[in-house]
Structure 1
């Protein structure tokens, strides 16, 4: 089974979704499971992981309801306030739902030092009690903080989203590449080859632009800790869904694709019944 390990749903709200700026006008509308299902079918993908796009428990409930109603949604990475002294209670509450597989906080929007905060790390500590994963969403310059975080929690499953959002059009930066290698030395960390097309200047790109980045990530993580994610519908500002899929399918061999396009996500998120 092929799985898209990173995509979003939303009912567009111009106030809540202010991050969708003028350069992203194409996605200023609702994107629901009924929009994604035929796209997945067209490209031979049988399931997906729905990931939070806003910081609220309402968002988590919305995604869990989507998963309840649509069998192709295999799991949800939601949001819980990990800074709260009641984080454990809220994680326990949502963990009663079989689709709740992990948590993400949009750290890329936070100030330096956020991942070192004692309250944030207390929240990360609570994840293990419920067998939950954590998606790391950071910019490239925040990778040293991410490395320090994952080293403190060697038993906690982490996954790096969007290969840390490097500036693709400028080519591989040796500092980014070094940090990727350092992060990958922690065996509890996976990496999503996702979100790359929107890290290009003017959303102009060709396949060869991404190959050095895919090479660096694959050399660091190997093919057993990499998973494909489309970042749909965000990717649509820079590429069609099929183009994003082909970036990965054209780079990896037929033997490598089953893991990267599905098996690694099943293992990481603990998806059963597939």
Structure 2
């Protein structure tokens, strides 16, 4: 099974989706499974992991509801208030939906560099572990230190790093990011999505070589069993087509065996998210 480990659906709402700025006009519209189905088929992708794009329990239910109508959705990464004192009650509610594989909070939007190590947040992560849910890490450089601390304090929690921590491809900054990746990959319970890179590059003038050192470093650090393919569709459309995103990684993954390619294109995601 070939799986896109990271994509989104939404019914566009200008107020709720304020992060979609005017310069991102290509995605200031609705994106639903019917818009993606033909693209998946033409690219040989069997299914996707639908990841939350807004922070509400209604968002999680929206993705669950879509999954009942579209078999392409193999798993849902929803949102839950991890800092709530009622976190166990909320997880118990969501536990009735096997399609929910894990949760995410948009940490990158949090100004507090120590958000991941707030006592209430750490309590929420431990609740995820108890329910055997995964957690997607979406961060910026200011969160590097707290990310490492959070992961170190939760060795039994399955984490996956979204978008390779969004390296600054546009300005070719590398060293600080690379040091963080090396440290994070040392934790065996952390995986990494090779996804979301085109929007960190020059949207109009990127080349495959812009991404090569970043992807190669992630592979060297995480190995070939803890990485997975993702497009970040439809966000990627501001800078590239679905086919462009696939071509970037296809061009760079030149020394992979057939078994390793199968793992990257779907097997690793299926194992991480518990997809049969």
Shorter-chain TM range is: over 0.9
Q: Deviations over 1:30-54 (max 9, x none)?
A: 0000011111001000010000000
Structure 1 residue 203, shift from structure 2 partner: 4.3
Structure 1 residue 144, shift from structure 2 partner: 1.8
CA distance in 2: counterparts of 1:254 and 1:40, whole angstroms: 23
RMSD: 1.0
Alignment of 1:179-258 (within 5 A): 179-252=180-253, 253-255=256-258, 256-258=260-262
Q: Do the aligned partners of 1:197 and 1:203 also contact (CA within 8 Å) in 2? A: no
Structure 1 residue 156, shift from structure 2 partner: 0.3
Q: Do the aligned partners of 1:159 and 1:191 also contact (CA within 8 Å) in 2? A: yes
Structure 1 residue 173, shift from structure 2 partner: 1.6
CA distance in 1: counterparts of 2:96 and 2:180, whole angstroms: 36
Aligned partner of residue 69 in structure 1, secondary structure: coil
Which residue in the other structure is 2:83 paired with?
Answer: 83
Alignment of 1:14-33 (within 5 A): 14-33=14-33
Q: Do the aligned partners of 1:172 and 1:212 also contact (CA within 8 Å) in 2? A: no
CA distance in 2: counterparts of 1:24 and 1:58, whole angstroms: 24
CA distance in 2: counterparts of 1:238 and 1:181, whole angstroms: 28
CA distance in 2: counterparts of 1:117 and 1:47, whole angstroms: 35
CA distance in 1: counterparts of 2:209 and 2:47, whole angstroms: 28
Which residue in the other structure is 1:107 paired with?
Answer: 107
Matched, 1:264 2:264: no
Q: Which runs of 4+ in 1 moved over 3 A?
A: none
Matched, 1:58 2:58: yes
Aligned partner of residue 180 in structure 2, secondary structure: helix
Q: Where do 5+ consecutive residues of structure 1 fail to align? A: none
Q: Do the aligned partners of 1:107 and 1:138 also contact (CA within 8 Å) in 2? A: yes
Structure 1 residue 254, shift from structure 2 partner: 5.0
CA distance in 2: counterparts of 1:133 and 1:258, whole angstroms: 22
Q: How many residues align?
A: 272
CA distance in 1: counterparts of 2:229 and 2:179, whole angstroms: 22
Matched, 1:121 2:122: yes
Which residue in the other structure is 2:131 paired with?
Answer: 130
Alignment of 1:136-215 (within 5 A): 136-215=137-216
Q: Do the aligned partners of 1:249 and 1:257 also contact (CA within 8 Å) in 2? A: no
Please give the TM-score of this superposition, normalised by the length of structure 2: 0.96
Structure 1 residue 141, shift from structure 2 partner: 3.4
CA distance in 2: counterparts of 1:230 and 1:79, whole angstroms: 20
Q: Do the aligned partners of 2:51 and 2:77 also contact (CA within 8 Å) in 1? A: yes
Which residue in the other structure is 1:43 paired with?
Answer: 43
CA distance in 1: counterparts of 2:141 and 2:212, whole angstroms: 18
Q: Deviations over 1:102-161 (max 9, x none)?
A: 000000011211111000000000012211000000013322211111110011000000
